[in-house]
Structure 1
């Protein structure tokens, strides 16, 4: 990719612009945030944490990395990349935030798709320290020690994005927790939010095994959140075959079903040696409006 450093970070304590100063980010208010050896910064103030170690655990992050790198969700990544790059601004880098980036899979695929043709300024944010650490470490490895790693990586919360107002062209929310007022604040007028959520048949075959009865699906929401206009939604549906109990366990570990299922349901999943499943996702696209 044509890498451009992401420079629109804001201090999570006072909202002032952050400037990179060696191995730290600093604001004019005197606040300083160190960049870890793996290449990420923690911009989640301790008073904003709801638990000591919020977000996905180290084990959950590793499970997601193994499953995604096996290519099972590659069609989702390809569709997301094509949507993000559609209508990219001319003459400057496209600034994109993945709000809930996990271990960075979708931003890496976006960077690979863009190649040298479209310059990108990427920011990956997640509330899980373990996810951001894994993403940043992988990015440094991919860049072979260069300082122009693919993205900036920060620990932070969607409830208070450490990003300057009206500086982003795109926000991704991949199976995450959208905070629309914050997304509207950081997007430029005309910028776009791409929200990806599970559809009614997503992993149905797995859910039929771990739950005694499937709950009725709620109707898909099509009303645009405040500050946005709905540009349209698309469905993406395909089949995947997962071989081996380990990969099935990885899939279960990266979904909410790990905690929602009973012990009996989890045991039934653990007994599987292979499973063919439906992947069904909805991609909703919203544009930030002025005012």
Structure 2
């Protein structure tokens, strides 16, 4: 199995294909983007940013890296890999992780496919800190700072697209997937991290039910619930779990203090894995 960087990138300013010239990527109109020395490419124009430093902070990325590299969410990665690698094409399988964070799930996919197809991988995140961390850990994959709302990817160029705990933009996802390509989506279930939420919030709000309304351009192929108990036996792992979630910033100081006092915690991990297939007859 060979892992190569995905190459079918486009200019974020005009949508034309980018071609590589040394450490620079250029479009026919002359827009140029230099690859950072760490190996990633910044394709998020300043006019498309909603803040100076969008996405996860440096501290959140570091917490997620420690937590995921410890293997705590390995069952989720295994479930994703099974879906991605089922019925793979005969040629190279191209896959984008849209909202890749520090790259854990693409690294797990590369390891799972050791005896399988060749992979062309692309990880994209709006956080430069996440992409930087991913590029430092894996040189085989293309890493890009960009936005799901305007993917710098050629139309109909991907076999698989991952959106894991992220923000799906189905119109863009449909555009970049090949007809018949697969979107693998993971979302938190109603009981996900319930025990932690009970500690940091004075009361829990019920999560809205998730329906299976098919996004335009897709049809539902399967759903799966991944659920298991996770026991954390040190304060550092508990702190990392809280820091990598929105609950760290949503909780009040007294709730964060209760979590910081914990030295052991068992939580329920519950996620919904949904697979959507790009309509085979649609293009563009």
Q: Structure 1 length as normaliser, TM-score?
A: 0.95
Distance 1:4 1:136 in 2: 13
Which residue in the other structure is 2:218 paired with? Answer: 228
Q: Distance in 1 between matches of 2:21 and 2:175?
A: 26
Written as runs of structure 1 = structure 2, the 5 A alignment for 1:1-16 is: 1-16=1-16
Matched, 1:39 2:65: no
Query: What SS class does the counterpart of residue 3 from structure 2 fall into?
Result: coil
Q: Once the two structures are superposed, what CA deviation does each residue of 1:125-144 show, in whole Å capped at 9, x if it has no partner?
A: 0000000011011113xxxx
Contact 1:24 1:32 (8 Å CA) reproduced: yes
Alpha-carbon distance between aligned partners in 1 of 2:31 and 2:245, rounded to the nearest angstrom: 36
1:97 — aligned with what? Answer: 96
Are positions 1:256 and 2:246 aligned together? yes
Preserved CA contact (<8 Å) 1:2 1:117:
no
Alpha-carbon shift at residue 68 of structure 1 (Å): 0.3
1:241 to 2:241 alignment: no
* Contact preservation (8 Å) 2:5, 2:122: no
Match of 1:178 among 153, 168, 182: 168
Deviating beyond 2 angstroms after TM superposition, the runs of 4 or more aligned structure 1 residues are: none
Counterpart of 1:137? 136
Residues 2 and 116 in structure 1, CA contact (< 8 A), matched pair in contact too: no
Cα displacement (A) at 1:260: 1.2
Q: Which residue of 2 aligns with 1:153?
A: 143
Deviation at 1:69, TM superposition (A): 0.5
Q: Please report how far the alpha carbon of residue 5 of structure 1 lies from its aligned counterpart in structure 2 after TM superposition.
A: 3.2
Partner of 1:197: 187
- The correspondence for 2:205, drawn from 189, 203, 215, is 215
C-alpha contact 1:4 1:93 (8 A) present in aligned 2 = no
Query: Does 2:275 align with 1:276?
Result: no
TM-score (norm 2): 0.97
Which runs of 5 or more residues in structure 1 are unaligned? 141-148
Structure 1 distance, partners of 2:30, 2:267, is 52
